[in-house]
Amino acid sequence: MISKQKRAGWLWVADVAGAALFAWGIADAVASWTGADGANSLALAAILAGGITRAAILLLVQRQAIAGAQASVLALRRNLFPRLLAQRGAIAASLGQSAVLAIDHAATIENYEARFVPVRTAATAAPLLVIGFVALASPVSAGILLATLLPFIVFMILAGTMARRASERQLAALGQLSGLFVDRIRTLGIIRHFGAEARITRQVQAATSDVAERTIDVLRAAFLSSAVLEFFSALAVALVAVYCGFSLLGLLPFPAPESLDLREAFFALAMAPEFYLPMRRLAAAYHEKQLGEAARLELDAIPAPPPPRPADAAYAALSVDNVRIEWPGSSIGPVSFGIGGTGLVALTGVTGSGKTSVLAAIAGQIGVTGGNITAVDPQDIAWAAQRPLVLPGTLHDNLVLAAPAAGAAEIQAAVRATGLDALLAGRDAGLDLVLDHRGSGLSGGERRRLGLARALLSGRPLLLCDEPTADLDDDSAAAIIALLLDESRRRAVVVATHDARLVAVADQTVHL
């Protein structure tokens, strides 16, 4: 099926008909004026109808274009969001970068689809249709328009290549500049603290004027292609005007293949600017094209998920054997350990040493570069995060995310075990407490307990905990440690932590 943005493009082609109606109206009005008929009501009607047609087509085109573009982007999001948020596989992007991919790039692609795709669709057919209309009145004028096309294309290729290189360099320079500017604004507090503001201000000023100078050099080339377009557009009008004028005067220096009357000549003249109009629209959308293509490339570069590891049977034991995980610029492991149906293993090491990555590898969420990990059915793994997920809904909804069938008694037990009952005691709504995705109203510690309660409720035999005691006060941390120790008698618990108190109670400690 043809997309709405493409259909919008074909509507743009129909715009030529409105232009022709308008041009005919003007030509007819002027021609009948010479016959001393005065104002001609048919011509007047054609002028108005032509204008209204063009206005209506423009509205329709843009409505179709945005609807189509948003439909495309919606489909893109349905595919992209789960890939970024819920797909196994290494996505070494920061949260900020993933927001850029999901939100800013999607907006850029919407712009591309809505502003560039329709004009590109129209860019070939519309000028040909203009030629056709002009040829009806004056084949030679149509020939003149066509003849300007060839040198136009040659110049466009020359200037366009220069312009493209230039504008790519410009984009890069601007990106660097705004990076520096944003960084210095963000760190302004510490810059002031060390009394460096005067120096850094001078540095920022030097960098901005340097980039401005370089950008201006670049623009000289970048604007050449629009100048070429402008020139040929003006040339087409001038050539048609001069040819038609000389033809009407009978002063053509060559034998005339056609004999024009004023109506035909004027129509050809009024249509001449329309010939380059689709290409001018295309040039105006060039920036959207460039950005849109760059965004698509980046989205396409998101790696495909690794093939799922088939799990043989229900969880019995986990063995991690000489596992290495490599990213560009960092290397984790080799790491080896084993755990049976119960017990507590602490993965410890400095921040950035890869504790969370090892947990993710055990869960099959990221691939490993070397070594072996027992394949565990994803349904057997519970995950308690450092900052757990909160979906908009009630506290109850959020507790049973991984165990929708949990009964009231089980929920009460998990709530008590994780100390969430203290939280509920202080609030009237109880389990019906309404939460938004920010978890507003929950403290960091309460949110952590929510994640743990959810993991316990899931009843899964392997529990992975990421920094369960980070930023907690001594009492809260001690309670969580006792809870994990207790759970480790019922199930296998693997924690990533740099808390010495938690490491001290573990059955086994793995240093990364």
Segment interacting with other proteins (CB under 8 A) among 42-50, 148-156, 296-304, 412-420: 42-50
Are the CB atoms for 455 and 418 separated by under 8 Å?
no
Among 6, 13, 24, 50, binds other proteins (CB under 8 A): 50
Q: Is 86 in the site for other proteins (CB under 8 A)?
A: yes
Tell me whether strands 330-339 and 462-466 are parallel, antiparallel or unpaired: unpaired
Q: Which of 151, 154, 172, 193 binds other proteins (CB under 8 A)?
A: 193
- Are 355 and 311 contacting, i.e. CB atoms less than 8 angstroms apart? no
Binding part of the chain for other proteins, among 56-64, 140-148, 290-298, 310-318 by CB under 8 A, reads: 56-64
Q: Which of the residues 383 through 402 are near other proteins (CB under 8 A)?
A: 383, 385, 387-392, 401-402
* Closest approach of other proteins to the CB of residue 308, in Å: 12
Residue 368 in the binding site for other proteins (CB under 8 A) = no
Comparing CB distances to other proteins, the nearer of 44 and 157 is 44
Helix and strand totals (H; E) in the chain: 17, 10
Q: Which is nearer to other proteins, 341 or 392 (CB)?
A: 392
Distance, in Å, from the CA atom of 392 to the CA atom of 437, rounded to the nearest integer, reads: 5
CB of 511 to other proteins, least distance (A): 8
Q: Which of 351, 405, 408, 425 binds other proteins (CB under 8 A)?
A: 351
Q: How far is the CB of 71 from other proteins (least distance, A)?
A: 10
Give the interface segment with other proteins, choosing from 91-99, 123-131, 145-153, 294-302 (CB under 8 A): 91-99
Select the residue interacting with other proteins from 11, 16, 20, 43 (CB under 8 A). Answer: 43
Of 83, 75, 63, 82, whose CA–CA distance to 106 is shortest?
Answer: 75
Considering only 92, 147, 158, 192, the residue that binds other proteins (CB under 8 A) is 192
What does each C-alpha distance from 185 to 174, 179, 324 come to in angstroms?
Answer: 16, 10, 39
485 vs 62, 338, 342, 382, CA distance in Å?
63, 17, 10, 16
Cis ω on the peptide bond leading into residue 334 (within 30° of 0)?
yes
Neighbours of 419 (CB within 10 A): 17
Q: Does 471 bind other proteins (CB under 8 A)?
A: yes
498 contributes a contact to other proteins by CB under 8 A: yes
- Residue 235 sits in the site that holds other proteins (CB under 8 A): yes
- Applying CB under 8 A, does 121 fall inside the site for other proteins? no
Can you list the positions of beta strands (E) in 433-491?
Answer: 434-435, 462-466
Query: What backbone phi and psi angles, to 5 degrees, belong to 326?
Result: -120, 130
**Stretch of residues binding other proteins (CB under 8 A), selected from 101-109, 130-138, 145-153, 407-415:** 101-109
Question: Which residues from 8-27 bind other proteins, rule CB under 8 A?
Answer: 22, 26
| Number of chain positions touching other proteins (CB under 8 A) | 151
Q: Is the CB of 445 or the CB of 468 nearer to other proteins?
A: 445
Give the separation between CA 286 and CA 470, rounded to whole angstroms: 50
φ, ψ dihedrals at 346, nearest 5°: -105, 120
Helix (H) or strand (E) holding 26: helix 4-34
Asked if residue 223 binds other proteins (CB under 8 A), the reply is yes
Q: Check binding of 155 to other proteins (CB under 8 A).
A: no
Beta strands in 250-406 (DSSP E): 318-327, 330-339, 343-348, 370-373, 381-384, 393-394
**Beta carbons of 239 and 149 less than 8 angstroms apart:** no
How far apart are CB 74 and other proteins at their closest, in Å?
A: 7
Taking CB under 8 A as the binding criterion, the range among 359-367, 406-414, 478-486, 487-495 that sits at the site for other proteins is 359-367
Rule CB under 8 A: choose which of 3, 14, 17, 33 binds other proteins.
Answer: 33
Give the residues across from 327 on adjacent strands: 330
Closer Cβ to other proteins, 303 or 430, answer by number: 303
> 442 φ, ψ to 5°?
-100, 140
230-to-19, 223, 275 alpha-carbon distances in Å? 20, 10, 12
- Whose Cβ is closer to other proteins: residue 22's or residue 116's? 22
**Measured from the CB atom, is 161 or 205 closer to other proteins?**
205
Asked if residues 337 and 320 have their Cβ atoms less than 8 Å apart, the reply is: yes
DSSP for 214-242 reads HHHHHHHHHHHHHHHHHHHHHHHHHHHHH
**Euclidean distance between CA atoms 75 and 196, whole angstroms:** 49
Residue 178 as a binder of other proteins (CB under 8 A): the answer is yes
The minimum distance between CB 363 and other proteins, in angstroms, equals: 6
- Are 461 and 315 in contact by the 8 Å Cβ rule? The answer is yes
**CA pair distance 312, 377, nearest whole angstrom:** 8
Site string for other proteins, 198-217 (x = CB under 8 A): xxxx--xx--xx-xx--xx-
Q: Which of residues 264-323 bind other proteins (CB under 8 A)?
A: 265-266, 269-270, 273
474 binds other proteins (CB under 8 A): yes
Q: Out of 186, 427, 489, 490, point to the residue binding other proteins (CB under 8 A).
A: 186
Residue span binding other proteins (CB under 8 A) among the ranges 125-133, 193-201, 288-296, 415-423: 193-201
Q: State the amino acid at position 405 in one-letter form.
A: A
Question: Which of 444, 478, 479, 509 is in the footprint of other proteins by CB under 8 A?
Answer: 444
| Residues 6+ positions from 63 with CB-CB distance below 8 Å | none
